[in-house]
Amino acid sequence: MLDQLLAALTRYGSPALFVVVAIAAVGVPVPVTLLLIVTGSLAAQGSIGLWPAIAIASAGSITGDQIGFAVGRWGGKRLVTKFSRLLGDAEHIKKLDARAKSWGGAGVFFSRWLVTPLGPWINVASGAADYSWFRFTLWDFLGESFGAALFIWLGHVFSDRVQQVGAIFGDLGWAILAVLVAGFLGWNLFHTKQKHE
């Protein structure tokens, strides 16, 4: 599928870019970092304008993110209520919800460009957790614009090395996600051990 998406991007430019980043933001597993780097290379070759490409990529991603947020807000609540019973009593859930909201802005911002595999999940979770739409959109706009500008600029600078730059940042993204998971599980292990002692 990646081949077809990259071919569409190379051939049709901006319209393909908008559609591809939007479907990636909704949750279809697409290596969007590589697509943005290829877009930067196309900009360096003069096939597409640099600033229009950044604007279109941001707009496409934000559109997809808004769809994910809407799904969480209006479709995911029942599911969340069902699963939240498994997490503990009402007091515990309130604490978790408050913690999630306090980290909401940073979570939305960093999942747009640094830990991209988490992005679609955070969109749905933010909607379901009644996170403010205005704040979500603000952090979403900042994160997506920064991410699009960063990766398209990288592709523009290293326009003859797109696959290698894409591979480096793809792997770095997964490594950062693995560090976060290890940190979260390590923290849980530490607390479980303390409780037993």
Partner 1 sequence: MLILGFCLAIAATFFFGYRAGRTARHFRHQQESIQPWMSVPFIAHTHHTRPEPLFLAIHVPPDPHDHRPIREIAHAEKVPVSEMIGELRKAIQTATPPGKGP
Tokens for 83, please give them: 């699963």
At its nearest, how many Å lie between partner 1 and the CB of residue 183? 8
At its nearest, how many Å lie between partner 1 and the CB of residue 129? 24
Query: For residue 152, what is the DSSP state?
Result: H
- State whether residue 160 is helix, strand or coil: coil
- φ, ψ of residue 131 in degrees (nearest 5): -70, 140
Tokens for 192, please give them: 């479980």
CA distance 33 to 22: 13
Tokens for 177, please give them: 């996600």
Binding mask 13-42 for partner 1 (x = CB under 8 A): ----------------------------xx
Q: Contact at 8 Å (CB) between 124 and 69?
A: yes
At its nearest, how many Å lie between partner 1 and the CB of residue 42? 8
Of the pair 75, 88, the CB lying nearest partner 1 is at: 88
* 4 is a contact residue toward partner 1 (CB under 8 A): yes
* 79 is a contact residue toward partner 1 (CB under 8 A): no
* 188 is a contact residue toward partner 1 (CB under 8 A): yes
Is the sign of the CA dihedral 93, 97, 189, 197 positive or negative?
negative
Which of 138, 162, 195, 197 is in the footprint of partner 1 by CB under 8 A?
Answer: 162
Q: Which residues bind partner 1 (CB under 8 A)?
A: 2-4, 6-7, 10-11, 41-42, 44-45, 47, 159-164, 167-169, 171-172, 174-175, 178-179, 181-182, 185-186, 188-189, 192
